[in-house]
Amino acid sequence: MKIYLFPFLIYFGLNNTLFGQILPPIQLDRPDQTECPFITPTNYIQIENGFTVENLENNQRIYNYPSTLWKYGVNEKFELRLITELVSLKSSVNLNSGLLPITIGFKTSLFEEKGLIPKTSFIGHISTSRMGSKEFHTKLIAPAFRFTMQHTLSDKIMLAYNLGAEWNGENEQYNYIYTLTTGFSLTDKIGCYTELYGFLSNQNVADHRFDGGFTYLINDDVIVDISGGFGLTEGVHKNYISLGFSFRFNTISDHVDIEKVR
């Protein structure tokens, strides 16, 4: 989801109304690695920013400043997505900075939660090979997809998970992706999560990781987060810490005369 806010937060705070559409508080695909199944409200633009420092093996470090997910709600079942990542890759001998290849995609809602059936959506992305800084161009475009699912266990606890695959843009090799996160509502403003996730390949060692974090809802349309995690597989990923700031806004004025729109 990178997360959230949780579906039960619909019962807290003030509700926004757009032509009779009652909106829950903002739902994010961050700060965790589990994409959420919720669709950005119709006619809303949502911008999710993350500032991250990630430490790898061999004294390598990655700075994201920021990584931004741009979303637009087309209707209640479909959103458009754009990912831009400004990064610096630092090693003991080199420092490369610039814009990673831009990623475009969509999310579509498949099923609503009912009994044992989770709320389910499908996400498809394609990372362009050359729409970014020259230093980060890839040989191929890189597709990725996920099925994202979520269960409401109680009014304060949810369970979510993703299954999918992604390509790296350098060759035809791909990795399977899995995520499993549990989110908790501590108050009507504060949420937290713990998560296990990883990448599986038949050509490389499996990469398993663990993370956790907190979210704070400033108002229904603005939220901040902090998260961090570490690798469970030796020799791959060491740790990371991330700060986030996300918000949404309506592209159609709430004061438009409904009769004129009709």
Please give the residue that has the higher pLDDT: either 259 or 187: 187
Mean pLDDT of 214-225: 98
Indicate the average pLDDT of the chain.
Answer: 89
Over residues 106-125, the mean pLDDT reads 97
Is 60 exceeded by the pLDDT of residue 32?
A: yes
Q: Is the pLDDT of residue 253 over 80?
A: no
Higher pLDDT, 12 or 90: 90
pLDDT band for 132, please (50, 70, 90 cuts).
very high
Pairwise pLDDT comparison (111 vs 4), residue with the higher score: 111
**2-17 residues labelled b (16+ CB within 10 A) or e (exposed):** bbbbbbbbeebeeebe
Band (pLDDT 50/70/90 cuts) for residue 59 is confident
Higher-confidence residue of 99 and 92: namely: 99
pLDDT average, residue stretch 108-123: 97
pLDDT at 19 over 50: no
Q: Which CATH superfamily is domain 7-261 in?
A: monomeric porin ompg (2.40.160.40)
Is 150 within 8 Å of 157 (Cβ atoms)?
no
The more confidently predicted of residues 173 and 124 is: 124
Closest listed residue to residue 46, CA positions, set 98, 2, 109: 2
**Domain spans of the chain, in order of start:** 7-261
CA dist 28 and 227 (Å) reads 14
In this prediction, residue 7 carries a pLDDT of: 39
Quick one: pLDDT band at residue 254, thresholds 50, 70, 90?
A: low
Residue 226: is it exposed, middle or buried by C-beta count within 10 angstroms (0-12/13-18/19+)? middle
Q: Which pLDDT value is given to residue 245?
A: 98
Gap between the Cα atoms of 196 and 226, Å rounded: 17
